[in-house]
Amino acid sequence: MSFLRPIIVLGGLLAIWQTAVSAFEIAPFILPGPLSVISVAFERTDIIARHALVTLSEILLGLLFGTLFGSASALVMAYFRGARAWVLPVLVVSQAVPVFALAPVLVLWFGYGMAPKVAMATLIIYFPVTAAFYDGLRRTEVGWIDLARTMGASKAAILYHIRLPAALPAFSSGLRVAAAVAPIGAVVGEWVGSSAGLGYYMLLMNGRVQTAAMFAALFVLALMAVAIYFVIDRILRRLIDWQNELDPAVHD
């Protein structure tokens, strides 16, 4: 049933779309109907898949680096009071400067390849992961720490056995946000300058007024984004299954 629900919603939206396009006789280069989009997608599966693979790699690498840097920053901030004063401004600036404004600079520095897109995705992910994880690390139940200290636990043991698992729910909400925004970073990077990727392909098709192909690429991108979110959500749920037991919706 949980699988069926999004399919029903999606199917309904597509049906409305197709009906609207036919009923109002909208020109296909303005808004193609879903049927023509699907047929283009099947005609050009190879080329779209090639570009999708590039974008997917950029997103996944961005997620990897963003999560690594974000987690490291959060740990440093939580454990070294001196470092906090240094990392915090970086964190805030990374969020205050719109990554879109940075995109041209990143392309200038790293070239037309994947590197600037990965950097974009990393930047966009860095803030939610760091902020959420840091918050989680700071909010450990004081009683747990007290108990561990009376048991003769070292600081490292407390981090590993108590603070980290206790921060996992917060970390995972950060990572979920990250998973949702990571594709934006990659695609914006591709728009600014690239020779591959779904963002590049969309611009190209847009310029050639092949709107249906553009929509096909957009769909694949959306599908990919949803799949990434879904997989990450699944992994996180498995990892912190104990948190579901605290879900208010379950107990009310």
How far, in Å, CA of 179 to CA of 238, rounded?
17
For another protein, which residue of 138, 146, 195, 222 counts as binding (CB under 8 A)?
146
For residue 111, the 8-state DSSP code is: -
User: Which of the ranges 2-10, 146-154, 198-206, 209-217 carries the binding residues for another protein, by CB under 8 A?
Assistant: 146-154
Binding mask 54-93 for another protein (x = CB under 8 A): ----------------------------------------
How far, in Å, CA of 101 to CA of 201, rounded?
21
Work out the number of other CB atoms within 10 angstroms of the CB of residue 10: 10
Residue 244 token pair: 């579901």
Q: Does 245 bind another protein (CB under 8 A)?
A: yes
CA angle 65/49/18 to nearest 5° reads 110
Contact between 197 and 55 under an 8 Å Cβ cutoff? The reply is yes
How far, in Å, CA of 187 to CA of 237, rounded?
28
For another protein, which residue of 82, 152, 207, 248 counts as binding (CB under 8 A)?
152
Q: Does 144 bind another protein (CB under 8 A)?
A: yes
Q: Does 155 bind another protein (CB under 8 A)?
A: no
Q: Which of residues 165-224 bind another protein (CB under 8 A)?
A: 165-166
Q: Does 141 bind another protein (CB under 8 A)?
A: yes
Residues that bind another protein (CB under 8 A): 141, 143-144, 146-154, 157-158, 161-162, 165-166, 240, 242-243, 245-246
